[in-house]
Amino acid sequence: MTQLEAISTIEQGIVPVLNKHFRLQWEPVQDSFVLLYPEGMVKLNASAGEILSACDGKKSVSDISDFLEKKYPDAEGISADVNDFFSAAKAKGWTHFV
């Protein structure tokens, strides 16, 4: 298994946690969620903002997927999108898992 495959395979029962060096907040001027960190800011798209705002240190990846599927019943492929997002967020250092 390559490193990319290992990163892209997220265990559904693990709990994602925001890296302590980042802070998620709604930024009205940007009209989006942003991740603030000492060196700057990352403007998140709507999907990333929804996923990270559901990341409370208690919900598992599966719980977050279920929550978003209930919130957006017409959206397809949410579980795969959440999985892909957390794979990318972990690779970027935004999140880790407990």
Read off the CATH number of the domain in which 14 is found. Answer: 1.10.10
Domain that holds residue 41: 3-91
Tokens 């990318």, located at residue: 88
* Global confidence as pTM: 0.87
For residue 27, pLDDT beyond 50: yes
pLDDT one-digit tens code per residue, 59-77: 999 999 999 999 999 999 8
pLDDT one-digit tens code per residue, 36-55: 999 999 999 999 999 999 99
Residue 51 lies in a domain: yes
Residue 64 lies in a domain: yes
CB 64 within 8 A of CB 55: yes
Residue 71 lies in a domain: yes
pLDDT for residue 10? 75
> What are the backbone angles phi and psi of residue 86, rounded to the nearest 5°?
-65, -30
pLDDT for residue 7? 41
Number of domains the chain contains: 1
Residue 96 lies in a domain: no
